[in-house]
Structure 1
């Protein structure tokens, strides 16, 4: 099994060219001064992170740590990985300082205070845990032989798991901050699952956030009623930015409706409002416009531009309610003319191309209104630019397979010998659309395009949040 460089090697390779900063800091082992090297960077498919590496020239003590540079996420995350093959031991793992690492089979747990803020692999996490336990075994032998023997059994089990000799087993990474990550392998990774959840007040307090208690009568009496919740159960000062953003959208929509009724604004004119840039945190401009897609429905086009850091992004979202059923669009691309068909892909749509064994799960890429050729090109560009596991630290067989997938996607649009192929858009919310070859002649048959409505599965309803949504009798319930 190919192995990745250890975090020690990665940190040791940082240089002045990496925009790193060195500061003098105190060594906690010998109380002499050592050096801490800090570098700000961003891991694609993850968050902004801060890499820190400390070394002491006096006693030789070294310490490496990774901390998220991104803000607290809207929800916590629980990532579960079923380690069934040797390749699963080589998956990259990022464990934030608030995350708990568990192995369910032997009820083993690495708390947030241990191995905090590291970038490693499944094998590396387990092997390091075994090494940490084994380090104090000689001392335990002189204190309690019975406890020493039990701990030695745990150490032997962990070593067997790290070496791939005791499979399968299940690892869980539970992070209330939402800033942890486990690498996905392949286009359809059935062994990896991720669940988002609402944080409790206790979890927020453990992370250091000041949450008023229910029995704080002075605070309850003087504080203003909180606005409706958005995302996590955040303190008011953290929720304020999101609340102002939502209110500004509602105010602008109401204003636009009034102007439309009075005839002062056209349907193709855009609204704009200020929102915080997710890169630099300063105010940027968010434009929004409603358009009608022929043969489909009204959609919202949103574009953001930050004048300070220059970041730009755009997105298209289908307006209206979630469809009564899921819908699967299937297009048989037989000639270059099919590559020019209009495509609206929502963020709830999965994309499949069976001929090259490619599948992209829903939520992997944002929504877009483009053509078949443009959609495939965007997917290839997104994979090439954003995947963090294509560098020197990747296993060679994984890198070759990933590169081949990108090449296959690009050939679909540039090499006529790759025709025909099949493009499938499977949207649980029924917010996606593939246009006809000749929309100006709707009476003509279009045998290459089919659309199938089907009943959503329970898992799809859960992904869309429909299982937790109450649509009847809610007006009679008392607020919490």
Structure 2
């Protein structure tokens, strides 16, 4: 008998919602209340644990969110708030996130703050309510302090009215925070997102410590993994049941070596594949542009790395590198992935999305269908700063008349995103040797 999934879909029609109810201490009246826990999956975000507390004695309520794991990279969001619409942006703040508004020198540290699903306005109002607590007492006992806090509350009120634009940043080393892009599926000019590698100190604050490397056996002979399929155990990202992932090193003709990982879950039938470069980051970035002229173009093989962005100018569609991850598929499969991603995104097609925005996304999906059936002419552009993406040239080894491939020098910002600016790769041994001779 198979085990039921740990994390369930919010839209699940199961009779058993798998909500856990436990008695909890109420900090307001010191009586016993109830906490409800639901382990669920938010599409386009991650697996989370939703908590809701209610006290039947005093009416105290609160809710929180805890991600089901830690991402590989930290994340930093920077938003330029210009109008009241920006205040309504949906926001997920994890337990490890720091929120800052530099214009008023406001910083909300992660210590003592629970994760929550809210909005930009909700963050400001919570800060205001927190400052208002005990103000009556301060006005009697510490009037000077109360006056300073009143002045700061006035600044928060001005931000809530958006009398002037201001900046809000969220820095989360766990990578589990989120800030809504109002312009999806194209980049938001007022919002920037940057992933970064955590420092050792950040890892330790989250409870991760490096393990000492095991001594290597010099008698072990190196294995050639190019000719074998390696298998390792993991969990299905749909139903969380144990599955086996197969990994193989493959050489793509006229390109390079790549590592393909494929997973098939017998429990829910989910199939996924992921592609990683087997040769690191290329010296130059690569931009590939193809004009669709024939339905057979949809059968072209495409390798999209997790650093490659996709653009279809005719549809004003832009898909960032990390949105659908690394893929080894066909152009038809890639466009279907993008279409399915749009259709299942609750921030674009959910019940709370305004009608005009949902209509524009539905029109975009219809145009993708037209490209797939050949009734709409368009171009697709693959831009990969790491140079690890590939689109099949069906005329190889001759040039493809409908496809252009451009190698380019990366910008400083692109090198920064790839972690190359802080990486020392030249004269390392020589400098180390000089240091050894100069130390007494």
TM-score interval, normalised by the smaller of the two chains: 0.7 to 0.9
Q: Does the 8 Å CA contact 1:270/1:287 hold for their aligned counterparts? A: no
Q: Calculate the TM-score normalised by the size of structure 1.
A: 0.77
The 5-angstrom pairing of residues 385-464 of structure 1 reads 385-386=344-345, 388=347, 390-414=349-373, 416-418=374-376, 420-439=377-396, 442-443=397-398, 446-464=400-418
Q: Secondary structure at the match of 1:18?
A: coil
The 5-angstrom pairing of residues 308-347 of structure 1 reads 312-347=271-306
Q: Does the 8 Å CA contact 1:24/1:33 hold for their aligned counterparts? A: yes
Q: How far does residue 272 in structure 1 lie from its aligned partner after superposition?
A: 1.7
Q: Does the 8 Å CA contact 1:286/1:304 hold for their aligned counterparts? A: yes
Report whether the alignment pairs 1:126 with 2:124.
yes
Q: How far does residue 305 in structure 1 lie from its aligned partner after superposition?
A: 4.1
Match in the other structure for 1:472: 426
Q: How far does residue 455 in structure 1 lie from its aligned partner after superposition?
A: 1.3
Match in the other structure for 1:168: 165
Report whether the alignment pairs 1:140 with 2:138.
yes
The 5-angstrom pairing of residues 55-134 of structure 1 reads 55-70=54-69, 72-113=70-111, 115-134=113-132
Change (3 A) 1:385 1:270: farther
Q: Does the 8 Å CA contact 1:290/1:301 hold for their aligned counterparts? A: yes
Q: Does the 8 Å CA contact 1:326/1:430 hold for their aligned counterparts? A: yes
Report whether the alignment pairs 1:371 with 2:330.
yes
Task: Write the distance in 1 (CA, Å) between the matches of 2:253 and 2:319.
Answer: 27
Corresponding residue to 2:262 among 303, 309, 314: 303
Q: Does the 8 Å CA contact 1:82/1:192 hold for their aligned counterparts? A: no
Change (3 A) 1:347 1:435: same
Corresponding residue to 2:223 among 252, 255, 271: 255
Q: How far does residue 389 in structure 1 lie from its aligned partner after superposition?
A: 5.2
Task: Write the distance in 1 (CA, Å) between the matches of 2:96 and 2:281.
Answer: 35
Task: Write the distance in 2 (CA, Å) between the matches of 1:429 and 1:290.
Answer: 19
Match in the other structure for 1:235: 209
Task: Write the distance in 2 (CA, Å) between the matches of 1:252 and 1:343.
Answer: 38
Q: Does the 8 Å CA contact 2:196/2:417 hold for their aligned counterparts? A: no
Q: Calculate the TM-score normalised by the size of structure 2.
A: 0.84
- Gap runs ≥5 in structure 2: 1-9, 436-440
Q: Does the 8 Å CA contact 1:53/1:65 hold for their aligned counterparts? A: yes
RMSD: 3.1
Match in the other structure for 2:152: 154
Task: Write the distance in 2 (CA, Å) between the matches of 1:316 and 1:204.
Answer: 26
Q: Does the 8 Å CA contact 2:194/2:417 hold for their aligned counterparts? A: no
Task: Write the distance in 2 (CA, Å) between the matches of 1:358 and 1:172.
Answer: 26
Task: Write the distance in 2 (CA, Å) between the matches of 1:373 and 1:352.
Answer: 15
Change (3 A) 1:338 1:252: farther
Report whether the alignment pairs 1:292 with 2:251.
yes
Match in the other structure for 1:21: 20
Change (3 A) 1:136 1:477: same
Q: How far does residue 114 in structure 1 lie from its aligned partner after superposition?
A: 5.3
Task: Write the distance in 1 (CA, Å) between the matches of 2:220 and 2:407.
Answer: 35
Task: Write the distance in 1 (CA, Å) between the matches of 2:221 and 2:295.
Answer: 41
Q: Does the 8 Å CA contact 2:195/2:417 hold for their aligned counterparts? A: no
The CA deviation string for residues 337-374 of structure 1, in whole angstroms up to 9 with x for no partner, is: 32222222222211110001011122222222222222
